[in-house]
């Protein structure tokens, strides 16, 4: 359940903050970090 919440939060951040190709890359990187942290718990 917790990983699903992390994925939803990451998707919301990506949709809210990516206005450029560079922004998309940064958002994907942040989402990956959130997923890794959720998986390690």
What are the sequence ranges of the domains in the chain?
2-40
The Cα–Cα gap between 9 and 13 comes to 6
Instruction: Specify the pTM.
Output: 0.44
Q: Is the pLDDT of residue 31 over 60?
A: yes
The Cα–Cα gap between 25 and 11 comes to 13
Note the pLDDT tens digit of each residue in 2-26. Answer: 788 888 887 777 777 656 666 777 8
In this prediction, residue 36 has a pLDDT band, given cuts at 50, 70 and 90, of confident
- Using a CB cutoff of 8 Å and minimum separation of 24, what contacts does 16-21 make? none
Q: Which among 7, 4, 2 has a CA at the least distance from the CA of 32?
A: 7
Q: What is the pLDDT of residue 33?
A: 85
Residues 17-40, mean pLDDT to the nearest whole number: 76
Contact call for residues 4 and 22 (beta carbons, < 8 A) = no
């Amino acid at each position: 359940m917790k990983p699903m919440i992390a994925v939803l939060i990451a998707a919301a951040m990506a949709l809210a903050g990516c206005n450029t190709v560079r922004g998309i890359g940064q958002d994907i990187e942040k989402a990956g970090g959130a997923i890794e942290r959720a998986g390690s718990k």
